[in-house]
Structure 1
Amino acid sequence: MIHTTVGQLGHFFVILSFVTALVATVAYFLSALGLGKTSALTEPVEEPQLAYAGESGLGSKKAKHKIPSKQTSQPEAADKDDWRTLARWAFYIHGAAVIGVASSLFYIIYNHYFEYHYAWSHSSRALPVQYMISCFWEGQEGSFLLWLFWNAVLGAILIRTSGKGSLSRQWEAPMMAVFALVQAFLASMILGVIFGDSFKVGSSPFLLLTEAMPDAPIFTADPTFVPKDGNGLNPLLQNYWMVIHPPTLFLGFALALVPFAYCIAGLWRNQPLEWIRPALPWTLVGGMVLGIGVMMGGYWAYETLNFEGYWNWDPVENAVYVPWLVLVAALHTMLIAKRSSTGLKMAIILTIATFILILYSTFLSRSGILGNASVHSFTDLGLSGQLLLYLMAFVVLAVILAASKWKYIPADKEEASVYTKEFWLFIGATVLCLAAFQVIATTSIPVYNKVLESFGKISNLALPADQVAHYSKFQIWFFVVIALLTGVGQYMWWRKLENKKWDALITPGIVTMLISAALIAFGEMKNPVYMALLVASVFALVTNGTVLLGVMRGNYRLSGGAISHIGMALMLVGILYSAGYTKVISLNNSGLLISKQEEFTKDNNKQNKENKLLWLNQPERMGPYQLTYRGKRIEARDVPGYIPRQDVVVIEGDFHGIAQRDIEQNGKVYHKKGDTLALYPENTYYQVEYREPSGKIFNLYPRAQVNERMGLLASPDIRHKTDRDMYTYVSSVPDPEAENTWEKTETYSVAIKDTFFLNDYVAILDDVARTNEVEGVDIGPNDAAVRAKVRVLDKNGEHIISPAFVIKDRMVAHPAEVSDELGVRMQLNEIDPRTGKFTFAVNRTQRDYIVMKAIEKPLINILWIGTLIVAIGFLIATVRRYREFSKMQNKAV
């Protein structure tokens, strides 16, 4: 059935959102110009006065232009603006249309309307609801829609709060003009309108398969064809972090627009300083949310990917990390803008740069320019030119406006002294910008190559072969400096360095050296770079901790900066130990070559040395642990934990299975033998039993999906301990196609107590005895059944194989017994009472095994704790700055 109505409705909402965003842009622009006001008053006013370091009081420079008065004593009727009223309604309708688009798209995904290309490409019937939500933003169109949604929400909040004071009302029109313009550009990305034969604006998420793939043979044969199922969500994205990480990240992107819009509005209104106070709380919450979003992505990578860490300096990771660094730098310069002309200029530049860098990161990840350089990048949907236009439009707008209004920023009368807090905050912001530049300069190599190719040149530039080493060797030193500056800067901020004396830092310095020396000696730290980072981090902890104690005695609301810096220092300590002192414990000391695959033979057989081969149910020593691979496990939707793979016959392509025995967990029977149960897709787990020296046992369940499109996708399982994580993942598993491939049948005729060789093992037929129980066969009084007991010896002990011989209703059955540990299937085919010989048919196959890697990551929890503390510090600072602005508004009303 073709469900075209919902798609048509969704596309109508897309067009409506685009048109209303344009209307809101024009209306707010005209309102900002002062048109449409019925009774607003204007009067000559002095340019807002700026006080900078070195001045005895307020500045004295006055402007010669007019701006709208603040209307502090005029009635509300004096503020009536017809254009603003139109703009507000247009933006509200725009927001409602965006919600309509999102609802239509999710309705299509949730109801499995696979005639739509987006649903077919990104979802499937087997996905649970939370992963259907992830499907929504897996594609480019859905992620643009998510960005649109957050911008619409923030825009509505800004409009609603603008009526609470004249200070807010005066910013609404110019600021929301920028907001609405951004929304118009974003809405155009999902417009999906074609002009003429080739000019396309946007990519619609509501395309039917027949429209997206008109030349597909299936539609030539059957134009009404609808697939029964979709391609499904990328297996790597089937993780709960992918449900919350993208929305958080895009909320951070949206929040970065607010200070940018305030900045543009301030320049537009010839008020280059006044925008900072209302923008500061939004900058703080934006830094908090964007930082959390970045770290959520890191934790997703840590839990899902197998590169053994949380940050791989992937180009798309870098493209998000850089705007956050610049946003934090902008935040610090905003704090000193009132007293420093240089700080104000820097705040304007960095606030603009943050938003431009977010647009640039969007261009990098969605234009296809990164190609195979990133695991996160999207393929080009024909939007690269449109993305470039989007980027350049705001670059040109911001640069021209800033250049034309630069004259309104007076210069400092005196040079900044090293004994002022402004100097140290400015230096800190500069170092953050240098760190960001180093990352983005290298990340942009594919862009340089593309630009040169467009001019007919061939570039030999390439991204670093070892990107982790390349970026880390620079970023470590940047953050050594940043950590030191946080301590000095906080002391300067709270006036602990008075009379140009540095005595106040002596005690923290001594404490830092004592703690650092103990940690270096105890941890046997020998790398001088690591020592430098440790000393700097400890110094930041000691100094900011001292400041925090002093501040908390007065007013805890002032503690946000110190708390954030303490969290940052803890993050650096966690990164230092978890990345610098990772210990591989799955060492292969057997001298055997585990695999001849390329990835296992490069780097002087490093992978062979660091991976352990485990045969099913055969214990192996690994460091202080005894490891045993206990077999494959699967995950049922209504059964907690994991169940043995052999307990369920999986119905291929249906995401269901038939229970081969009662499915029981923790004493509760969830399914009886023969029941059909729902399974999660691509969910083969491998149970690895760890026995500690104390005898305590714990199990890990790393996942290795053998995916038709992407090959082996290994996801780790992690045991979290207070001081370290045990990180385990599967490097190699048997080929699934070979698992059920049995070799040629071999026969053995032996008598009881005879010894024979079975698959390179010694086997002994111990006994053949009558039995009344054979699985799958009902033995009646007139039936007969016997079971053999074959004992197979190997180096780790013995295994018992017990094939049966059944005569039922004068019919003979030979139920096979399979030993996964030995890779043997055995049947008792004949019994010769004359000779006392028993004939067995034996097939051999690949024994079940895994190749796994296990590493310990010390003190990694300090990284996650530090992230939480940074967020708390940002939150406290946000509340403080918001209250300050609210009080200022209330005074102006």
Structure 2
Amino acid sequence: MINTLIGDIGHLSVIIAFVAAIVSSYAYFMASRATIDAEALTKWRRFARGAFYVHALAVITIIFALFNIIYEHRYEYYYAWSHSSNHLPVHFMISCFWEGQEGSFLLWIFWHVVLGVVLMNTGKKNKEWEAPVMAMFSFVQLFLTSMILGVVIFDIKIGSSPFILMRDFMPDAPVFAMDPNFVPKDGTGLNPLLQNYWMVIHPPTLFLGFAATLVPFAYAMAGLWKGKFGEWIKPALPWSHFAAVTLGVGIVMGAYWAYETLNFGGYWNWDPVENAVYIPWLVLVGAIHTMLAFRRSKQGLRASFILVITTFILILYSTFLTRSGILGNASVHSFTDLGLSGQLFTYLAAFAVLAVALLIYKWKQIPVTEKELTTYNGEFWVFIGAAVLCLAAFQVWATTSIPVYNSFLGFIGIDSNAALPADQIEHYTKFQLWAGVLVAVLTGIGQLTWWRKTDKSSFLDAITMPAMLTLLFASLVIILSNKFDVFDFKLDNPVYITLFVTSLFAVFANLSIILSLLHKKVSLSGGAVAHIGIALMLLGILFSSGYSNIISGNTSGMLYSREFPDEINRDNVLLWRNTTTDMDKYKVSYRGQFLEVAGVPEYVNKEILFRTDDEYSAIARADIKVAEKLYYKTGDTVELPTPENTYYQVEYKNRETNEAFILYPRAQVNPNMGLLASPDIKMFATKDLYTHVSSVPDPNEEKEWSELKEYTVTVGDTIILNDYVAIFNGVEVIKEVPGVPLKAGDVAVQADMKIMGEKKTYHGHPLLIFKDGMAGYYPEILEDLGLRITFLNIDPKKEEFKIGVNTTQKDYIILKAMEKPFVNILWIGTIVMSIGFIMAITRRNKEGNTTKTTKPKAVKKADKAQVA
């Protein structure tokens, strides 16, 4: 019998969490009523808190149960079978947890629980916010937990349970008809592309960003509900900063995962799922700026309501896009439809209707100021900046939503075949590039006007030095790149020059603000630091994408294969093993295939690993050493953590400097997904050399060997094999054969042959085993030379030996290499941006906890001139 206790506990906990969310939501709603007395309010709030803590405990129990079925390899459960396997390390088991829709929903629910508990236990002076804010939190949790409920009521399925058994998920499978208690021995495993350490930390960070957007939304809704139209900004602002930095860092983590795992040659491909996260982040950053404008001058309150609400609705919309299956084949990242599309739409519609209806109902009550804005006023540029961010988001949203338009029109009976742009990168870039130019200009001008007196002379004084430094530095770079070839590119594209100049201006303008604030209080400069980070990111994107240079162009004049797309035949180099090829300023050599061996810090050549029936283990055919340190002796059994991955050793040597280095691009031929190639990257100070394999001989296809050619040799004879000189050194009897047990009377004989290759000498050791009266042949395959050598027979009387040789095409790879200038500026910019946001969060929290009587003088001044 299958033990289903852990699954029953998990499913029961989901039901408890769902019911507790309903109770908490209702109790907090009752505690928020204006007519309730203080005693009743306290009782309802205490009851609501208790219900939310029960909800939190239930969620923790669900997480424990789900991870347990993954960690303990309980393949009777469909979730464990479909997302994990026996040989995954623990950190990839964690990735298995959120690979599926149910697990990712649970991750989202968990972060809401954490944030909810934090909100309930902080801000003692703002207790009046707890009930309406947590009412919204609990209401959201009600919808989210329903997504993993997995119950059927009146033929209506509500949610998809992660605790469903295999036999219940696929009841028609023949194996369960024969044995209802059948449990698979192994799972299907984690998607190979997700077996990366970034997939352990990127999804939790991203979902924390998703969850954090609920906090300002809940405050905004509470402000509308309770008529505290301006008061909600103060507690919501640090949370908005937190959501922005977390979501932004999560997005960049995903970009870096793509950069070092996927082989499209970059970090951003304008995939619909990437866009679905990018859009709400832009709107959220716009919302932060309008909230800051309100904090300073009481302007932009209505805009703040609109943008905060829009951010959260866009988060729900992105959830609908990626999980409903509506994107179909439009995205490589989207989840398949689990039958939750109707439920997801209900979730989106419920909060969109609730928020928009409440905003419309309260619209006229929201206070506005009649203060006139001028072009020398900081708030004016803040609003322009927010508008630019929203327009950039709208452009991406409008195109990304094309599959939604088609689906909706089809639903109402209208055929629509609108398609996403054929070249999505070009389509989005031509708009987003100019949005970047405007953002760069506005971050500079906006900060200067924010911190200066609002008059023409003061503005001109402030802008002069940053403008002069920008022109000086930009001119220097343009001249050096175009006239003196200092860089590997020429900065001569007018559009790129525009983005370069404006981004530099943003750096210098914000740097001047930081320098002017140092004598006051460094914490005031969080906004300027964040803006410098954004400007650096724009510079990194400009150089690494705009001037990415393919250096592996096919100069041989030959077509590799008519079956290959033009890009592979044009932009890739063919490397025969151990044959040096010129590629741009490098001499490049493909040196062989390597595997990862547990406990060894470097990859190990396949040639010295004897593979056994267990694909996760091998036997060392020679000592395995790294830097003279012995890790395994000949004959030791070694563990192969990722036997499906082959690492192709590629040696680069710079012809100009003689600098040499080795890269190991990774690839595997997956039976379901084809060639999965991941790059290896050599990082220099001013560029990255990005290398990946585009094609390899299919290891699953039987090689076409020539007919066996037999040679009769004696010790010391020299023969020619496939144009290589080979010397037969003799034979020896061996007592142990890896993977083959020898009994008394069995004999194993090993030939020793030396073959002179173009670059090195090879040793072949084919085996001939006489076991139980029969001969067994274990040939030696030399991939480099295209040789298979078989020890066929021994004539002891004549002291002659018979060797059989087959030949085939030599091993090769087809390689793509490109240089990405100054890509490190992008990653550095992300870090700087994050530091700026953290400084802003710290400052806002201090302001929220400081009373008027104890407020420092510097902070009083800051109240008059808030900075983003």
TM-score, normalised to structure 2, is 0.91
CA distance in 2: counterparts of 1:784 and 1:707, whole angstroms: 36
CA contact (8 A) 2:112 2:211 kept: yes
Out of 580-589 and 677-686, give the one that drifted further: 677-686
CA contact (8 A) 1:565 1:870 kept: yes
Q: 1:672 aligns with which of 617, 633, 638?
A: 633
Q: 2:624 aligns with which of 651, 658, 663?
A: 663
Deviation, 1:367, is 0.3
Paired position in structure 2 for 1:52 = none
Q: 1:191 aligns with which of 143, 149, 165?
A: 149
Paired position in structure 1 for 2:649 = 687
Paired position in structure 1 for 2:118 = 157
Deviation, 1:103, is 0.6
CA contact (8 A) 1:37 1:82 kept: no
CA contact (8 A) 1:330 1:347 kept: yes
Out of 732-741 and 533-542, give the one that drifted further: 732-741
The yes-or-no answer on 1:22 pairing with 2:3 is no
Q: 2:673 aligns with which of 696, 710, 714?
A: 710
Summarize the Cα distance change of 1:853–1:537 in structure 2 as closer, same or farther, 3 Å threshold: same
The yes-or-no answer on 1:569 pairing with 2:535 is yes
Paired position in structure 1 for 2:833 = 870
Paired position in structure 2 for 1:77 = none
> Deviations for 1:385-414, whole angstroms, at most 9, x for unmatched residues?
000000000011101111111122233324
The yes-or-no answer on 1:423 pairing with 2:380 is yes
CA contact (8 A) 2:580 2:589 kept: yes
CA distance in 2: counterparts of 1:833 and 1:96, whole angstroms: 78
Summarize the Cα distance change of 1:666–1:789 in structure 2 as closer, same or farther, 3 Å threshold: closer
Paired position in structure 2 for 1:722 = 685
CA distance in 2: counterparts of 1:29 and 1:12, whole angstroms: 26
User: Quick one: which amino acid aligns to residue 782 of structure 2?
Assistant: S
Deviation, 1:719, is 1.4
Out of 205-214 and 679-688, give the one that drifted further: 679-688
CA contact (8 A) 1:769 1:786 kept: no
The yes-or-no answer on 1:847 pairing with 2:804 is no
Specify the SS of the correspondent of 2:849: helix
CA distance in 1: counterparts of 2:701 and 2:662, whole angstroms: 27
What runs of 5+ residues in structure 1 fail to find an aligned partner?
A: 41-79
The yes-or-no answer on 1:146 pairing with 2:103 is no
CA distance in 1: counterparts of 2:349 and 2:748, whole angstroms: 85
CA distance in 2: counterparts of 1:146 and 1:616, whole angstroms: 46
Out of 721-730 and 492-501, give the one that drifted further: 492-501
Paired position in structure 2 for 1:596 = 562
Deviation, 1:220, is 0.8
Deviation, 1:862, is 0.6
Deviation, 1:583, is 1.4
The yes-or-no answer on 1:493 pairing with 2:450 is yes
Summarize the Cα distance change of 1:753–1:149 in structure 2 as closer, same or farther, 3 Å threshold: closer
CA distance in 1: counterparts of 2:228 and 2:214, whole angstroms: 19
Deviation, 1:818, is 3.2
User: Quick one: which amino acid aligns to residue 569 of structure 2?
Assistant: N
CA distance in 1: counterparts of 2:579 and 2:601, whole angstroms: 27
Summarize the Cα distance change of 1:889–1:222 in structure 2 as closer, same or farther, 3 Å threshold: farther
Out of 737-746 and 804-813, give the one that drifted further: 804-813
CA distance in 2: counterparts of 1:788 and 1:522, whole angstroms: 60
Specify the SS of the correspondent of 2:99: coil
Q: 2:569 aligns with which of 604, 608, 617?
A: 608
CA distance in 1: counterparts of 2:854 and 2:151, whole angstroms: 50
> Deviations for 1:527-552, whole angstroms, at most 9, x for unmatched residues?
11101100110110111111111112
Deviation, 1:837, is 9.2
Paired position in structure 2 for 1:9 = 9
Paired position in structure 1 for 2:592 = 631
Q: 1:406 aligns with which of 355, 363, 386?
A: 363
Specify the SS of the correspondent of 1:239: coil
Paired position in structure 1 for 2:487 = none
Deviation, 1:455, is 1.1
Summarize the Cα distance change of 1:864–1:800 in structure 2 as closer, same or farther, 3 Å threshold: closer
CA distance in 2: counterparts of 1:770 and 1:449, whole angstroms: 73
Paired position in structure 2 for 1:74 = none
The yes-or-no answer on 1:173 pairing with 2:135 is no
CA contact (8 A) 1:567 1:869 kept: yes
CA distance in 2: counterparts of 1:891 and 1:752, whole angstroms: 97
CA distance in 2: counterparts of 1:507 and 1:669, whole angstroms: 61
Out of 881-890 and 559-568, give the one that drifted further: 881-890
Deviation, 1:890, is 9.5
Deviation, 1:826, is 2.6
Summarize the Cα distance change of 1:398–1:806 in structure 2 as closer, same or farther, 3 Å threshold: closer
Paired position in structure 1 for 2:336 = 379
CA contact (8 A) 2:682 2:688 kept: yes
CA distance in 2: counterparts of 1:398 and 1:272, whole angstroms: 14
User: Quick one: which amino acid aligns to residue 571 of structure 1?
Assistant: M
CA distance in 2: counterparts of 1:84 and 1:876, whole angstroms: 33
Paired position in structure 2 for 1:135 = 96
CA contact (8 A) 2:301 2:368 kept: no
Out of 454-463 and 428-437, give the one that drifted further: 454-463
User: Quick one: which amino acid aligns to residue 2 of structure 1?
Assistant: I
Alignment coverage as a number of residue pairs: 836
The yes-or-no answer on 1:543 pairing with 2:509 is yes
CA distance in 1: counterparts of 2:703 and 2:735, whole angstroms: 21
Deviation, 1:499, is 4.6
Deviation, 1:646, is 2.6
CA distance in 2: counterparts of 1:193 and 1:147, whole angstroms: 20
What runs of 5+ residues in structure 2 fail to find an aligned partner?
A: 482-489, 856-868
Paired position in structure 2 for 1:91 = 52
Matches within 5 A, 1:173-252: 173-196=131-154, 198-252=155-209
Deviation, 1:315, is 0.2
CA distance in 1: counterparts of 2:468 and 2:199, whole angstroms: 45
Out of 17-26 and 699-708, give the one that drifted further: 699-708
Q: 2:475 aligns with which of 497, 501, 517?
A: 517
Paired position in structure 2 for 1:558 = 524
Deviation, 1:415, is 3.2
CA distance in 2: counterparts of 1:222 and 1:814, whole angstroms: 41
Specify the SS of the correspondent of 2:701: helix
Deviation, 1:653, is 5.9
Deviation, 1:338, is 3.9
Deviation, 1:511, is 2.0
Specify the SS of the correspondent of 1:730: strand
TM-score, normalised to structure 1, is 0.89
User: Quick one: which amino acid aligns to residue 685 of structure 1?
Assistant: Y
Paired position in structure 2 for 1:439 = 396
Specify the SS of the correspondent of 2:148: coil
User: Quick one: which amino acid aligns to residue 11 of structure 1?
Assistant: H
User: Quick one: which amino acid aligns to residue 259 of structure 2?
Assistant: Y
CA contact (8 A) 1:315 1:443 kept: yes
Deviation, 1:754, is 9.6
User: Quick one: which amino acid aligns to residue 466 of structure 1?
Assistant: D
CA distance in 1: counterparts of 2:158 and 2:179, whole angstroms: 30
Paired position in structure 2 for 1:59 = none
Specify the SS of the correspondent of 1:637: coil
Deviation, 1:156, is 0.5
Deviation, 1:891, is 8.2
User: Quick one: which amino acid aligns to residue 842 of structure 1?
Assistant: V
Q: Identity over the aligned pairs, expressed in percent?
A: 53
Out of 512-521 and 326-335, give the one that drifted further: 512-521
Summarize the Cα distance change of 1:393–1:817 in structure 2 as closer, same or farther, 3 Å threshold: closer
User: Quick one: which amino acid aligns to residue 623 of structure 1?
Assistant: D
Summarize the Cα distance change of 1:124–1:834 in structure 2 as closer, same or farther, 3 Å threshold: closer
Deviation, 1:685, is 1.1
User: Quick one: which amino acid aligns to residue 206 of structure 2?
Assistant: L
Specify the SS of the correspondent of 2:121: helix
CA contact (8 A) 2:734 2:748 kept: no
CA distance in 1: counterparts of 2:293 and 2:157, whole angstroms: 46
CA distance in 2: counterparts of 1:161 and 1:889, whole angstroms: 20
Deviation, 1:746, is 2.1
CA distance in 2: counterparts of 1:22 and 1:807, whole angstroms: 73
CA distance in 2: counterparts of 1:803 and 1:206, whole angstroms: 53
CA contact (8 A) 1:774 1:804 kept: no
CA RMSD across the alignment: 2.9
CA distance in 1: counterparts of 2:236 and 2:111, whole angstroms: 17
Q: 1:737 aligns with which of 679, 700, 704?
A: 700
